[in-house]
Structure 1
């Protein structure tokens, strides 16, 4: 995800403390699972001439004909390479702010649009970024946050822009990465008359409550030696969790923000899942080229983590080396301590104000996972290296604690069943969609890795991570990634052929 994709909290932690940086497969940044291809806090980004915000009136509820309320949805256009009658490449926004850099520096704009004389367009997803349909994010208002509404948003937008810019002669291709990659595939399935094809990168297509196989890919991507070292560190951590003296050691060594009480299960689960999330984040985005202009944390790769975990000169014990990895993560994100308190996390996620840090995407994406997808990366897989500390029940409980007791397992089971019935899950029937997936990316476990048919194919890219094909080209790109982008170009030629 590259989906779907991947979230935790306290985004604006400043230089003091921060909770988990990664939750439900989503980094807790404003950009979501598909991170910006360039850091927004550097000189290069600020020097670029980016397209201005544009807005159009979107319906609040597409499926209630007597509901006439509208809101302003944001989009961006780059027509630098466009010639009259050329294709329109529509990138769907996902669970984060829509950054206009994508229609300037992203692979779709800088490579594919240039090659096909196409217009690049980016549509921000409802409830994310500045596309805010309701006064706040209360549970009552979040009922309009669904993938079905988002897909119809895109359909209405295509009609709108076609009329506004007289694009009747142009063919549309829809793109997405991670959750928005799922949307791209589903859009082609549900609206084949509006787009001639879709590129669905790192797209999970099967909703599932207990996504325990996420950690299977993490383990494989780390390699046996590194995986064993983390397992040993977890065993040593478990011993420390058994007594108050160990709690004091954990508090000090892992730089926790408050007094740690190992008898509070929710805090223990939250802490261990946070430490695991640090590793998951590194694996999911390993060498994805978001670092070409200095994005935070991207210099920490699998190699960096595993060099620490397997180097006895770094620390006498595996737990010492695990602590060192935590230090590296804190330093990379300019954090002084880890906020492990479960109640702090829940309280943050309950904030319904658009000005809150939860509005950067954490609350919205958590809601979507609780009512549509699940995708809970639990510790229930036998043999994974992080111990039994964050079972699927831990994530289900979060839904109830954040949104209310009615958001229970029964509701979630019905919601996931509906999602798979509505879109098809692994049984998706669709034509003219390409599904790029990276072998290192844990989300490929829910994606399309085998061809669905002669014109809906899987593109499995060995050695690459989440949405790697979408980021700007680099001299460091492996041959298989360059080859994959060439395959995408060839596929676009087939989609756009009018024969």
Structure 2
């Protein structure tokens, strides 16, 4: 059997993975909101993804736990505290790690959620494992899922000191340690490693290739908005693409949504206006402010655009319902879109503070308040269906101070990973990184879309 040279293998592997990755979409954000980036289960029944067969998952995937170091960058005694980090291995098609087999290891970087969601949603790794005789490795991100330091989320999240170990740099050091551990335990010292991720995980994959080139020979970063930080790209691009997606689906739908924001405020200004809106939108509790309703609709439209993929195409579902409702009632049309997307329900939980945030949402909020400051907002103008609401760092800082007692560091990402003049930096210091973006994906506005960038 002919053995491919390592450079040829890497090029072949990355090229094929790119084609398949472009067919997959990863998972919406706005001003002063803590929206999720990554592959997480959507709220809408129309977007429930295919679940894997439980027997197949149990037979092909094996779960392990690695005693991970809490703090990779200090030498205080408490830094050597460990926690159990979960990782999952699939060796069904593994060709071995010997010098003659050259079988690669494909590593999926966990993001802001439980790692088993990757098994449910990411099919291209298992589909390509037989071709490359690859070992598949999925690593859960610290502070998410079961990989929580200090023994419990309550202890891990008790204050800024305990949350301070939740950083992208610490997470990548975790990944490096687990990869090297798996290579040792599988006698895979000669196996090339390709790291893969989408959204936040794609950001980590590209940064990992820059920071750990001795471990990862290539990276595939899908929908990785690494250029949003520090004003490298304008934050208004996200909502421009959401608007563009809706306008392409139906211009009348786009115009109805654009008109609806003023109509919401007009109705709210009436006597008992908030009660009227609550009844109109069947909210589970009475609206106390129009912000909650508008924020709910904002997230719904953003999520529909983020997941606008076959077979459902949720943007089309929303617009068909809006266009199909009587056009003499703008808010009735908007509510029809809500029902079409969310499903028929006795009531809709619109209030933004109706329930405490889940641990994963709180962890992600910490990351956005500390280092991952996404300045995404509504810039307004003729090319958007949203009212003007630009990102306000002062307001965002106030929220972060109130919630965590910290001040965001909006310049840290570009200082530590780069961003300004990134094309030059990648040309000088990086290779074998593929950035893939679907142009209907709102996050493509913060990604690298230029060939050979």
TM-score by length of 2: 0.80
Match of 1:492 in 2: none
Match runs of 1:124-139 below 5 Å: 124-134=140-150, 135-138=155-158, 139=160
CA distance in 1 between counterparts of 2:304 and 2:365 reads 21
Partner residue, 1:69: 81
Could you say if the C-alpha distance between residues 98 and 76 of structure 1 is closer, same or farther in structure 2, counting changes exceeding 3 Å?
A: same
1:432 aligns with 432
Whether 2:332 is the aligned partner of 1:320: answer yes
Q: 2:284 aligns with which of 249, 257, 262?
A: 257
* Partner SS for 1:217: helix
**CA drift at 1:143:** 0.4
Q: Is 1:97 aligned to 2:107, yes or no?
A: no
Match of 1:248 among 275, 286, 296: 275
1:389 CA drift (Å)? 6.0
Shift in alpha-carbon separation, 1:443–1:109, aligned structure 2, 3 A: same
The structure-2 alpha-carbon separation of the partners of 1:308 and 1:237, relative to structure 1 and needing over 3 Å to count, comes to: same
Q: After TM superposition, give the deviation of residue 288 of structure 1 in Å.
A: 5.4
Structure 2: gaps (5+ residues) = 1-21, 98-102
Is residue 263 of structure 2 the alignment partner of residue 236 of structure 1?
yes
CA–CA separation in structure 2 for the residues paired with 1:402 and 1:287: 35
CA distance in 1, matches of 2:48, 2:221: 17
Give the Cα separation in 1 of the matches to 2:133 and 2:432: 21
**Compared CA separation, residues 448 and 58, structure 1 to 2 (3 A):** same
Matched, 1:144 2:154: no
CA gap 1:112/1:84 in 2 versus in 1, 3 angstroms: same
The secondary structure found in structure 1 opposite 2:83 is strand
Aligned counterparts of 2:396 and 2:25: Cα–Cα separation in 1: 18
Write out aligned runs for 1:22-421 (5 A): 23-26=34-37, 38-39=49-50, 45-50=53-58, 51-66=61-76, 67-85=79-97, 86-99=103-116, 102=119, 106-134=122-150, 135-138=155-158, 139-208=160-229, 211-223=235-247, 224-261=251-288, 267-287=289-309, 299=312, 301-311=314-324, 313-331=325-343, 336-342=347-353, 344=354, 348-349=356-357, 358-359=358-359, 361-383=360-382, 384-388=384-388, 392=392, 395-404=396-405, 407=406, 411-412=407-408, 415-421=409-415
Q: How many pairs are equivalent?
A: 398
Quick one: distance in 2 between partners of 1:31 and 1:228? 26
Aligned residues of 2:378 and 2:387 also touching (Cα < 8 A): yes
Tell me how far 1:446 sits from its aligned partner. 0.7
Equivalent residues of 1:5, 1:179 under 8 A apart:
no
TM-score by length of 1: 0.73
RMSD between aligned alpha carbons?
3.0
Q: SS in structure 2 opposite 1:174?
A: strand
Q: Which runs of 4+ in 1 moved over 6 A?
A: 1-4
Residues 437-456 of structure 1 show CA distances to partners (whole Å, capped at 9, x for unaligned) of 01111001110100245xxx
Structure 1 segments unaligned to the other structure (5+ residues)? 9-21, 262-266, 290-298, 350-357, 454-499
Please tell me whether the aligned partners of residues 317 and 341 of structure 2 are also in contact (alpha carbons under 8 angstroms): no
- Equivalent residue of 1:244, what SS? coil
1:153-191 per-residue CA deviation (whole Å, 9 max, x = no partner) reads: 111112211111111121100000110000000000111
* 8 Å CA contact retained: 1:38, 1:101: no
Deviations along 1:359-409, one digit per CA (max 9) or x if unpaired, are 1x11011111111122254234334323246854655443233223xx3xx
